[in-house]
A and B are shown apart, each in its own frame.
Chain A
């Protein structure tokens, strides 16, 4: 292959596309937030003091934090088997990760409804087998939202985790065993720290992605779990106040950006090990 004198030039088409389709519209939204209906920071004051906005942001961050922790832990276990299991195990796990990955988010949300509802499969079986007398409320609440979001996000955590696990040098693990460490200790003190950058990467990916969720919380939350994306939709479309909607969007962007910066700084020393 011929060498490029400026390999960075390869990024230009993508960057140009992102600037045009993402940065420019976002700057337009940011401009709305300080100009509609009149110039000034009034919409930010309104957004930050609005109890509805506050409670929605609090819920969004809480749900996303829970989702991130559960997703990364669950994915770590699944991915471990995916990377280090037998051929059959690897094949099965690959199917279980990839097939849902290709199914529409809406279909999956309604699938969870059918599964977890009062007359859903789970409750019906549990009642028929005598485990339950009254159906458990598993859906149309925050629990349902977390289940649906975790299910959606597992592949997004599994891919970076798999690449981190595959790059672990087998000889280091053998050396630890040779030095007399038990299996548990090798895992906890050697394997996990070596995959730490992958864990942080997965967590970052999942958390940032989950902040923008719209369909899953709207359907599985039973209307109660209004999250940031839906609130912005409400302000832009349902009862229009574009200035306020724009201000909420910018606040969300800034919060995510700040969080990213903090997490990236955290990830660096671990990655340098």
Chain B
């Protein structure tokens, strides 16, 4: 067997594919012709895939240093593959733009599972390889064809503890009751979690939430919106609403709960009651420069409980691997959205519903809040 020659042929093809002289699909076809199907399926298309580095795209800020120290740096030590952090925000449209450019520069994205699923069904995402990514290292019910569970956060009520004293809010009904709990409210601008909160306040049982009755939720919002001081679009904004006194109760991301408690010296508190758990995930763009294999390995490496402790400590992300819960210091478990005691009080967002209904529901929501 003249493997050296074959490899050289493949190398030439790979160069052409990288330069765009031939398409990736054509490269695979020609590689198959040269090496035989078995060899290609066994070795993948390693020459083309080995760019030797991965680009992990997150939402920027503190996340860049956190992801690097928790996952990126250890992965380099374990495999020799550099993981570059890119904080430009992998929104659904941005991922689509990457794919449609024909030459994506992103490998792994920190995306909403429902976005990854929607894009995956259009053929833009790599299916998660669950022979590499270990399903037993994720929580029951969180794992998707095109998205691997990577962390959790919740939409929870944070409130002015000084104002409400001995009678703090304990449910979404309390959040939307300005008679019993006077004061302005703050809500999330992009709708997620808010519909569920509105419906529970309107008397829908948590088990009956899905499919969401958007009209009913919006009717409740119409009647309530005069009491809303503002709709925050980012975590820092939600914090400033409470700290500046513009609202005395805000539905915030749980990742902000500890910061609020610390920054206010305990004047602002929070509850997990009827919180809404949102899953975060890692997904891989189809045709990613670093190759699907390396990307899957990276995702699997991020399932390590010790690494997830770092993410919890730095960003207050609820760990995706249930084995991580026990490693958190006991005084911090109350900040963990998926700690068994906290999780029991909450309801997970249904990603299937969001995948098909989020766009139109958000339009209707924005029309109401901006009217």
Residue in contact with B231 in the complex, picked from A222, A237, A240, CB distance below 8 Å: A222
Task: Write the nearest CB–CB distance from A58 to chain B, whole angstroms.
Answer: 11
Closest A residue to B190 by beta carbon equals: A238
Contact A114 B237 (CB under 8 A): no
Contact B229 A237 (CB under 8 A): no
> Looking at B232, B243, B370, which has the most chain A CB atoms within 10 Å of its CB?
B370
Q: If A56-B370, A236-B93, A238-B92 touch, does A224 touch B359 (CB 8 Å cutoff)?
A: no
**Contact-residue size bin, chain B (C-beta under 8 Å from the other chain):** 20 to 34
Contact A237 B371 (CB under 8 A): no
Closest B residue to A119 by beta carbon equals: B245
Q: Does B358 contact A (CB under 8 A)?
A: yes
- With a cutoff of 8 Å between Cβ atoms, the chain A residues found around residue B359 in the complex are 239, 241
Contact B237 A219 (CB under 8 A): yes
- With a cutoff of 8 Å between Cβ atoms, the chain A residues found around residue B231 in the complex are 222-224
Contact A242 B93 (CB under 8 A): yes
Q: If A114-B244, A118-B244, A237-B91 touch, does A226 touch B362 (CB 8 Å cutoff)?
A: no
Q: Does B230 contact A (CB under 8 A)?
A: yes
Q: Does B363 contact A (CB under 8 A)?
A: yes
State in angstroms the CA–CA spacing of A218 and B370 once bound together: 11
**B interface, CB within 8 angstroms of A:** 89, 91-94, 96, 189-190, 229-233, 237, 240-241, 243-246, 358-359, 362-363, 366-367, 369-371
- With a cutoff of 8 Å between Cβ atoms, the chain A residues found around residue B89 in the complex are 237
Residue in contact with A52 in the complex, picked from B91, B94, B366, CB distance below 8 Å: B366
- With a cutoff of 8 Å between Cβ atoms, the chain A residues found around residue B358 in the complex are 239
Contact A140 B370 (CB under 8 A): no
- With a cutoff of 8 Å between Cβ atoms, the chain B residues found around residue A110 in the complex are 240
Contact B93 A223 (CB under 8 A): no
Contact A55 B244 (CB under 8 A): no
Contact B371 A240 (CB under 8 A): no
**A interface, CB within 8 angstroms of B:** 50-52, 55-56, 59, 110, 113-114, 117-120, 135, 137, 139-140, 218-219, 222-226, 234, 236-242
- With a cutoff of 8 Å between Cβ atoms, the chain A residues found around residue B233 in the complex are 218, 223
The tally of CB-CB contacts under 8 A between chains A and B is 76
Task: Write the nearest CB–CB distance from B359 to chain A, whole angstroms.
Answer: 4
Contact B229 A240 (CB under 8 A): no
State in angstroms the CA–CA spacing of A226 and B230 once bound together: 12
Contact A117 B91 (CB under 8 A): no
- With a cutoff of 8 Å between Cβ atoms, the chain B residues found around residue A225 in the complex are 370
State in angstroms the CA–CA spacing of A50 and B363 once bound together: 10
- With a cutoff of 8 Å between Cβ atoms, the chain A residues found around residue B96 in the complex are 240, 242
- With a cutoff of 8 Å between Cβ atoms, the chain B residues found around residue A52 in the complex are 363, 366-367
Complex A-B: 24 CB contacts under 8 Å: A50-B363, A51-B367, A55-B371, A117-B244, A117-B245, A118-B245, A119-B244, A119-B245, A137-B229, A140-B229, A140-B241, A222-B229, A222-B230, A223-B230, A223-B233, A223-B370, A224-B230, A237-B89, A237-B92, A237-B93, A238-B92, A239-B362, A239-B363, A242-B93
Closest A residue to B118 by beta carbon equals: A240
State in angstroms the CA–CA spacing of A236 and B366 once bound together: 16
The 3 closest A-B pairs by CB, nearest first: A223-B231, A222-B230, A119-B245
> Looking at A52, A110, A120, which has the most chain B CB atoms within 10 Å of its CB?
A52
Contact A223 B232 (CB under 8 A): yes
Contact B369 A224 (CB under 8 A): yes
> Looking at B93, B189, B231, B243, which has the most chain A CB atoms within 10 Å of its CB?
B93
- With a cutoff of 8 Å between Cβ atoms, the chain A residues found around residue B245 in the complex are 117-119, 135
State in angstroms the CA–CA spacing of A117 and B359 once bound together: 32
Task: Write the nearest CB–CB distance from A132 to chain B, whole angstroms.
Answer: 14
Residue in contact with B92 in the complex, picked from A117, A119, A137, A240, CB distance below 8 Å: A240
- With a cutoff of 8 Å between Cβ atoms, the chain B residues found around residue A137 in the complex are 229
Residue in contact with B244 in the complex, picked from A51, A113, A226, A240, CB distance below 8 Å: A113
Task: Write the nearest CB–CB distance from B313 to chain A, whole angstroms.
Answer: 27
Closest A residue to B367 by beta carbon equals: A52
Task: Write the nearest CB–CB distance from A91 to chain B, whole angstroms.
Answer: 34
- With a cutoff of 8 Å between Cβ atoms, the chain B residues found around residue A51 in the complex are 367
Closest B residue to A236 by beta carbon equals: B93
Task: Write the nearest CB–CB distance from B269 to chain A, whole angstroms.
Answer: 18
Task: Write the nearest CB–CB distance from A55 to chain B, whole angstroms.
Answer: 6
Contact A238 B362 (CB under 8 A): yes
- With a cutoff of 8 Å between Cβ atoms, the chain A residues found around residue B240 in the complex are 110, 113, 117
State in angstroms the CA–CA spacing of A241 and B93 once bound together: 8
Task: Write the nearest CB–CB distance from A54 to chain B, whole angstroms.
Answer: 10
Closest B residue to A218 by beta carbon equals: B233
Q: If A223-B232, A237-B93 touch, does A139 touch B366 (CB 8 Å cutoff)?
A: no
- With a cutoff of 8 Å between Cβ atoms, the chain B residues found around residue A50 in the complex are 363
State in angstroms the CA–CA spacing of A118 and B242 once bound together: 10
Q: If A120-B244, A140-B229, A224-B231 touch, does A55 touch B92 (CB 8 Å cutoff)?
A: no
Residue in contact with B246 in the complex, picked from A117, A226, A242, CB distance below 8 Å: A117
